[in-house]
Structure 1
Amino acid sequence: MAAQFGKRLRKGAANTAVVAVAVAALAASQAPAVTIDGSGGQAADAPSPDGNADDTATGNSRYYTDLPPLDSPTATPSTGADGETSSVAGGERGIPATVLDAYKKAEAALRDAKPGCNLPWQLLAAIGKVESGQARGGRVAADGTTIGKILGPQLNGNGFANISDTDGGAYDGDSTYDRAVGPMQFIPSTWAWAGRDGNGDGVSDPNNIYDAALAAGHYLCRFSWDLSDRADLRKAILSYNNSTDYLNTVLSWLEYYRKGTHEIPDGTGTLPRRESDDAPGRGSGTPGTGTTPPAAGPPSQGTPPPEQGPGTGKPPATTPPPTTPPPATQPPTTPPTTPPTTPPGTPTDTVHHLKDAGTAELTARAGDAFTGRIGVRAETKDGEAVGKVRIRFTVVGDTDAAFEGGETVATVVTGASGVATAPRLRAGAETGEFTVRATVVGRSVPALDFGATVTERTADFLVRTDSTPLTCVAGGEFAEQVELKATYRGAAADKVAASATLVKGLLDSSENDEGPYFEDADGNPVRTLKGLRTDGDGKLKLPKLYAGDTTGTFWLRVTTAGGATRTVALTVTKAEASADPETSPGPETPEASPGPSASSTE
């Protein structure tokens, strides 16, 4: 496949000129960069504060700049005798079957998980086209795993972002620098929190198109963006790769695919030809593989040697120095009269450590929002505040707690005081402890960890909603179902765990094997119910109760998490004897004396 990519060299694309004009109508010529505001939302009104690129999905790695042709949606790809696949009319609309299925499944999953995002599968297809040529023309196995890894170039600062290794080479095989990985080109540090299992095999693999497409969908839908809104759509795309050209290219393919696509066999898709780094001063290599570029040809082919090529600061050895003096209008080459005293840098470069900015205790009941919020202060070595620095907050540990909006990662820019405050945390259903980790984006300084605890939902008071006595004749069923209401500090205690047991007495909490009972699905007697939970109003309605053959007073005890308890009296009386019409009535007998009445603990 590398050889096939290598053949697609630097050819002009005349049929893309008109499309390029159309793209200009889709996106402004100066699209804003993406930053995060103080509330954890992503704003698109200011450039990235320090210019680092590792806060994007791809690390701003290379991508393909081919634009869609002006064609008929009914035509098909054409393969020449040399194995080259050309973009004849309609051919680019074909998307390999497995790849197309992955995009549509991801759209369906996001429709359920985040319906307000309105993610179209065509956006995933557009990004997949630009990032990897639809997984290199659909070279994937039946389960969606790419045949051979798709790796971007080293992110070593040479024409790309400078991102040191974050995964020990686990995903990209490089233990020195990170590389973008897979058909959607995630950098390992982003995949660590954005990765998803899209094909249900229990593994989140960036080289699997189902996993990568679902991860890309969740990535694009974070921060409660609505992709049917033009502004939010632009923010989401720019967050994937912070480049105006990238935005324009993705938007052009999005509009192209919205006009119609068709399914083609895996492995038969058309391959891109032009890379974003196909320009002087930028490194190049086999597209999507991260391999070394082909050896340069002789000077007669117009390709300068690598060590003397464009962007190196020195001309080819065969080029003589200019002999004519510069024109009189040339700007002066002398340095300015007041040169800077220090080399240019960014605020991030001056950060020495992070400091807790007065974070309150992080404790919440399951399902509730944490009242305290995490704040950190970026400081220099001398303790001075550093503003305009991106701080990444990450939820770490076995928990379903997340920031508002359902995300487990949020990036916030420090203000003039150097402080960044994380979005509010919300506890999930799981109880226990977890960690929120604060790190500086683009600089290696010790992380700051904050412990958080999710406790069980509890009630401190429990009462029946009806005071009607609960009575039944032996062998019958109670007409009324027991209903109670739980409260916590005077407010309804919703979703609180509870249990109900028929006990032997007010002072004996052991289960009574006689008297009233509940029934299971098979009609068998049950005298203890577990796993109960109050509803949204704090109410708990128990199943129907049945009376046994034993008469007397019995006790039903209901207990909630937190210790709220209510014991309810149940009275079972003897059934009245029915008269036999065929026999003569016997002598009248006195009525049996009623037993003592039961008193409820209510």
Structure 2
Amino acid sequence: MAAQFGLRLRKGAATTVLAAATVAAMAASQAPGVTTDGAGRQTTGSPSPEMSTQADETASGNSRYYTDLPPLDSPNPSTGTGDGSGTTGGSERGIPATVLDAYKQAEASLREAKPGCNLPWQLLAAIGKVESGQARGGRVDAEGTTIGKILGPQLNGNGFANISDTDDGAYDGDRTHDRAVGPMQFIPSTWEWAGRDGNDDGAEDPNNVYDAALAAGHYLCRFDWDLSNDANLRSAILSYNNSTEYYNTVMRWLEHYRGGTHEIPDGTGSLPRNPSGGNSNTTGNSGNGNGKGNNGGGNSTPSPKPSPPSKPQKPGGGEPGGGGSTPKPPTTTPPATPETPTDTVHHLENAGASNLTAMAGDTFTGKLATRTETKAGKAVAKVRVRFTVVGDTDTTFIGGEKVATVITDSAGKATAPALVAGEKTGTVTVRATVVGRAVTALDHKVTVTARRADALARTGTAALTCVTNGEFAEQIGLKATYRGEVADKVAVKATLIKSVLDPTANDKGPYFGKDAAGNPIRTLTALKTDADGLLTLPKLYSDDATGTFLLRVETEGGATLTLELKVEAPAETTEPTQPTETTEPTTPSPSAS
């Protein structure tokens, strides 16, 4: 219990100004974590085996995070002191109003966009707590944008990952190296594809808690992960930060918030104080119960081993009191940084299917793959390769994402997730790059063709007849199929043609209504079958021409159906004849006898 309660800020331990300064300093050093080397330094080496092979690099580039754990709840939890000190379990359950609203809105949005993910808002709250202390205790404006940017440390390889600038400083203000940005601590290169507009203001701002929460939700839900499944939940959290300590910390906060929470005013949230890989501003346990103090699980860089004392110098040669020069301190050569597999990659080669083609809406049957090789052509394993669907296209990887990062296998091969063809047709580029190394990208090209049908049939059987200047009684129903299966969303063209040999539009006979100028419409192109492959044509009318006319219906893919339409003159009516007048015969009168 001592370790647990040691996490809480003490009442009156610091003024509000000092607390704000503390959290600003802490926020400038955090983001999803990383693997560590033997000395506890964060590295960009291979992810741990517990991380999914489909998982992208961590959302925030492997920077620091807060290791504070939730306190033990007292039997009578307080609602807080109002000074943001967060000294009881009850106040730690409180989440700033705007931040809490952002989490709940993100959950609602994901429930519609990706219902199979089962994302709980409490998971976003747990990650937000660990990443930025709920946007530095809820210091946001009315629109949800943080008051001052929350920036992680410079990712220059000095104790953290080494990520050269990818955004020209647009998000993080740093044109040399990237920094994690915002309340959910995204690195610019990840935000570029994961960013979302959560408050419908037309912008995707990593410093806005609505945008950041929604982006984090989509990031956690990629690859069709179902977060109600413990294994999927673990993979998702580790993909945000590949650290077991990080996973354990997030899970503790997740369970804490699932136990109940409440809304508190913006700016009054408690401020965490223990970043991973660094020293806190106070002494005492970090609450991890491992006896390692405030280092967040041993990720702080240890002090260098002291050098052996110099040998005493002879009189006159610099010995104290000997009148010589001051002895120079011994110099040590820092150990060379070991070369990682990524450092040996010279180029990329295609290692998968080529010339892939799929119809819009279908999943490509083959998969793209890339092999990482040294200059000598030797395969390199354990290298992260990023696949990105580029350009103006709605083709995505399965799960709806346009970016996927895969670790190469023992043969140096990284196989991308399956591609799902969008509705936009044409050539699509999928670009493969090496994460953490400037190697010429490898572009894979795939082709998306329009939806098509190879058979078309009429659904009704009634004769298609009409009288001049009238309308056909029945609308024509059609059904399209492709290889015996329903052909949905297939483009259809209907034309009232002149003849079998002349498929141009007729200038007389039946027509599909009239345009704004009053001209008969005899060609329709903006037609598509529905989800069941069915289509009902608009009502047909006739002019004063009689005879047999042809309607040709064609679909993308070559299916054609020609129907006969008959127009007859109305039947003639015979006027009834008027009866002629008749003269009644006269009856002869009897003659006198």
Q: Distance in 2 between matches of 1:173 and 1:343?
A: 28
1:34 Cα shift? 4.1
Number of the residue aligned with 1:311: 302
| Superposed counterparts of 1:34-45, under 5 Å | 34-37=50-53, 41-42=54-55
Q: Distance in 2 between matches of 1:342 and 1:154?
A: 22
Number of the residue aligned with 1:196: 196
Number of the residue aligned with 1:272: 272
- Secondary structure at the aligned position of 2:489 is classed as coil
1:529 Cα shift? 3.2
Amino acid at match of 1:252: R
Q: Are the equivalent residues in 1 in contact too, given 2:77–2:88 (CA < 8 A)?
A: no
1:194 Cα shift? 1.2
Number of the residue aligned with 2:444: 450
Among residues 424, 444, 468, which one is paired with 2:418 in the alignment? 424
- Secondary structure at the aligned position of 1:274 is classed as coil
Over 3 Å counting, the alpha-carbon distance change for 1:525 and 1:75 in structure 2 is: farther
Among residues 58, 61, 64, which one is paired with 2:63 in the alignment? 61
Q: Are the equivalent residues in 1 in contact too, given 2:156–2:162 (CA < 8 A)?
A: yes
Number of the residue aligned with 1:408: 402
1:478 Cα shift? 2.9
Q: Distance in 2 between matches of 1:525 and 1:285?
A: 81
Number of the residue aligned with 1:383: 377
Q: Is structure 2 residue 19 aligned with structure 1 residue 4?
A: yes
Q: Distance in 1 between matches of 2:58 and 2:367?
A: 25
Q: Are the equivalent residues in 1 in contact too, given 2:359–2:448 (CA < 8 A)?
A: yes
- Secondary structure at the aligned position of 1:85 is classed as coil
- Secondary structure at the aligned position of 1:221 is classed as helix
Which 10-residue stretch deviates more, 208-217 or 413-422? Answer: 413-422
Which 10-residue stretch deviates more, 457-466 or 359-368? Answer: 457-466
1:528 Cα shift? 3.9
Q: Are the equivalent residues in 2 in contact too, given 1:78–1:88 (CA < 8 A)?
A: no
Q: Distance in 2 between matches of 1:525 and 1:90?
A: 74
| Superposed counterparts of 1:324-343, under 5 Å | none
1:147 Cα shift? 1.5
Over 3 Å counting, the alpha-carbon distance change for 1:285 and 1:396 in structure 2 is: farther
The Cα offsets for residues 230-287 of structure 1, whole Å up to 9 and x where unpaired, read as 12111111111111221111111111111222222222222212222334xxxx899x
Q: Is structure 2 residue 459 aligned with structure 1 residue 471?
A: no
Q: Distance in 1 between matches of 2:301 and 2:511?
A: 90
The Cα offsets for residues 328-350 of structure 1, whole Å up to 9 and x where unpaired, read as xxxxxxxxxxxxx9974432222
Q: Are the equivalent residues in 2 in contact too, given 1:36–1:411 (CA < 8 A)?
A: no
- Secondary structure at the aligned position of 1:233 is classed as helix
Number of the residue aligned with 2:554: 559
Q: Distance in 1 between matches of 2:202 and 2:23?
A: 37
Amino acid at match of 1:112: E
Q: Are the equivalent residues in 2 in contact too, given 1:8–1:274 (CA < 8 A)?
A: no
Number of the residue aligned with 2:78: 75
| Superposed counterparts of 1:533-572, under 5 Å | 533-548=528-543, 550-572=545-567
Which 10-residue stretch deviates more, 348-357 or 473-482? Answer: 473-482
Over 3 Å counting, the alpha-carbon distance change for 1:55 and 1:312 in structure 2 is: same
Number of the residue aligned with 2:216: 216
TM-score (norm 2): 0.76
Number of the residue aligned with 1:509: 504
Q: Are the equivalent residues in 2 in contact too, given 1:557–1:567 (CA < 8 A)?
A: yes
Q: Distance in 1 between matches of 2:260 and 2:572?
A: 80
1:33 Cα shift? 4.7
The Cα offsets for residues 6-45 of structure 1, whole Å up to 9 and x where unpaired, read as 45799xxxxxxxxxxxxxxxxxxxx9654444xxx45xxx
Amino acid at match of 1:567: T
| Superposed counterparts of 1:468-507, under 5 Å | 468-474=462-468, 476-488=470-482, 492-506=486-500, 507=502
Q: Distance in 2 between matches of 1:199 and 1:513?
A: 55
| Superposed counterparts of 1:277-292, under 5 Å | 277-279=277-279
The Cα offsets for residues 207-231 of structure 1, whole Å up to 9 and x where unpaired, read as 1111111110011111111111112
Which 10-residue stretch deviates more, 489-498 or 266-275? Answer: 489-498
Over 3 Å counting, the alpha-carbon distance change for 1:232 and 1:574 in structure 2 is: same
1:153 Cα shift? 0.7
Over 3 Å counting, the alpha-carbon distance change for 1:353 and 1:475 in structure 2 is: same
Q: Is structure 2 residue 236 aligned with structure 1 residue 244?
A: no
CA RMSD of aligned residues (A): 3.6
Q: Distance in 1 between matches of 2:24 and 2:541?
A: 82
Over 3 Å counting, the alpha-carbon distance change for 1:511 and 1:389 in structure 2 is: same
Number of the residue aligned with 1:439: 433
- Secondary structure at the aligned position of 2:131 is classed as helix
Over 3 Å counting, the alpha-carbon distance change for 1:229 and 1:372 in structure 2 is: closer
Q: Distance in 1 between matches of 2:515 and 2:307?
A: 87
Q: Are the equivalent residues in 2 in contact too, given 1:361–1:372 (CA < 8 A)?
A: no
Amino acid at match of 2:428: F
- Secondary structure at the aligned position of 1:485 is classed as strand
- Secondary structure at the aligned position of 1:105 is classed as helix
Q: Are the equivalent residues in 1 in contact too, given 2:509–2:542 (CA < 8 A)?
A: no
Q: Is structure 2 residue 70 aligned with structure 1 residue 94?
A: no
- Secondary structure at the aligned position of 1:454 is classed as strand
Q: Distance in 1 between matches of 2:263 and 2:65?
A: 23
Over 3 Å counting, the alpha-carbon distance change for 1:419 and 1:584 in structure 2 is: same
Number of the residue aligned with 2:147: 147
Q: Distance in 1 between matches of 2:246 and 2:457?
A: 62
Q: Are the equivalent residues in 1 in contact too, given 2:384–2:407 (CA < 8 A)?
A: yes
Which 10-residue stretch deviates more, 426-435 or 216-225? Answer: 426-435
1:525 Cα shift? 7.1
Number of the residue aligned with 1:48: none
Q: Distance in 1 between matches of 2:559 and 2:62?
A: 56
Q: Distance in 2 between matches of 1:234 and 1:4?
A: 33
Q: Distance in 2 between matches of 1:516 and 1:223?
A: 50
Q: Distance in 2 between matches of 1:454 and 1:527?
A: 31
Number of the residue aligned with 2:32: none
1:103 Cα shift? 0.8
Q: Provide structure 2 residue ranges, at least 5 long, that are not aligned to the other structure.
A: 1-15, 26-46, 283-299, 312-334, 581-593
Q: Distance in 2 between matches of 1:542 and 1:264?
A: 58
- Secondary structure at the aligned position of 1:59 is classed as coil
Q: Are the equivalent residues in 2 in contact too, given 1:552–1:573 (CA < 8 A)?
A: yes
Amino acid at match of 1:78: T
Over 3 Å counting, the alpha-carbon distance change for 1:352 and 1:192 in structure 2 is: same
Q: Are the equivalent residues in 2 in contact too, given 1:511–1:528 (CA < 8 A)?
A: no
1:184 Cα shift? 0.2
Which 10-residue stretch deviates more, 189-198 or 209-218? Answer: 189-198
The Cα offsets for residues 360-396 of structure 1, whole Å up to 9 and x where unpaired, read as 1022221122233212111111111112222221111
The Cα offsets for residues 167-196 of structure 1, whole Å up to 9 and x where unpaired, read as 221111111111110000011121122111
Q: Are the equivalent residues in 2 in contact too, given 1:515–1:551 (CA < 8 A)?
A: no
Q: Distance in 1 between matches of 2:70 and 2:102?
A: 21
Q: Provide structure 1 residue ranges, at least 5 long, that are not aligned to the other structure.
A: 11-30, 43-53, 287-308, 322-340, 588-602
Number of the residue aligned with 1:357: 351
- Secondary structure at the aligned position of 1:570 is classed as strand
- Secondary structure at the aligned position of 1:387 is classed as coil
Number of the residue aligned with 1:124: 124
Q: Distance in 1 between matches of 2:467 and 2:458?
A: 22
Q: Distance in 2 between matches of 1:285 and 1:351?
A: 42
Q: Distance in 2 between matches of 1:383 and 1:89?
A: 59
- Secondary structure at the aligned position of 1:376 is classed as strand
Over 3 Å counting, the alpha-carbon distance change for 1:34 and 1:513 in structure 2 is: farther
TM-score (norm 1): 0.75
The Cα offsets for residues 125-169 of structure 1, whole Å up to 9 and x where unpaired, read as 111111111111222222222111110111122222222222221
Q: Are the equivalent residues in 2 in contact too, given 1:485–1:540 (CA < 8 A)?
A: yes
Amino acid at match of 2:236: A
Task: Report how many residues are paired.
Answer: 501
Number of the residue aligned with 2:105: 105
Q: Distance in 2 between matches of 1:374 and 1:9?
A: 44
